[in-house]
């Protein structure tokens, strides 16, 4: 069963969940805040996608960081520490389905392609 990772009040996560529901695709939702995020889980995401892709540098959480803190994020170690401390800074949603690569972000066409690949 696919797992959708994110934060429940994120507008993009809401769009992804609505799309999955409309397509009648069963999935499990994992809220980073409610269900947690640990280093092992984050390392699995980074191993496939890279820390640069996961770190949302365009969102409000990133913009609220002071400049010194933003400039200190230079490698996977510093990025992991920040993402564990502030899960809202992770780009979302992240979709994981058995036997498929992880899919980061949401558009209807990307999900359509993801679920209709042969």
| pLDDT tens-digit readout, 84-107 | 999 999 999 999 999 999 999 999
Give the integer Cα–Cα distance in Å for 22 and 38: 31
Q: How far apart are CA 96 and CA 90, in angstroms?
A: 15
What does pTM read for this prediction?
A: 0.92
**The domain containing residue 52 runs over which residues?**
3-116
Residue numbers annotated as active site: 10
pLDDT at 118: 43
pLDDT at 43 over 80: yes
Q: What distance in Å separates the CA atoms of residue 103 and residue 20, rounded to the nearest whole number? A: 14
Give the pLDDT of residue 117. 72
pLDDT band at 37 (very low <50, low <70, confident <90, very high): very high
What was the pLDDT predicted at 85? 94
Share of the chain above pLDDT 90, in %: 96
User: The domain that contains 18 carries what CATH number?
Assistant: 3.40.30.10
Residues 1-31: tens digit of each pLDDT: 999 999 999 999 999 999 999 999 999 999 9
Number of structural domains (the chain) is 1
Mean pLDDT over 33-42 rounds to 93
């Amino acid at each position: 069963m696919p797992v959708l990772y994110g934060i429940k009040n994120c507008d993009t996560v809401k769009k992804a969940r609505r799309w999955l529901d409309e397509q009648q695709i069963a999935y499990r939702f994992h809220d980073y805040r409610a269900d947690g995020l640990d280093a092992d889980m984050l390392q699995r995401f980074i191993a496939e996608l890279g820390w640069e892709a996961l770190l949302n540098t365009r969102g409000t959480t990133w913009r609220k960081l002071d400049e010194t803190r933003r400039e200190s994020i230079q490698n996977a170690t510093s990025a992991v520490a920040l993402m564990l401390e502030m899960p809202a800074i992770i780009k979302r949603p992240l979709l994981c389905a058995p036997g498929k690569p992880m899919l980061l972000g949401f558009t209807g066409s990307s999900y359509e392609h993801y679920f209709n690949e042969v």
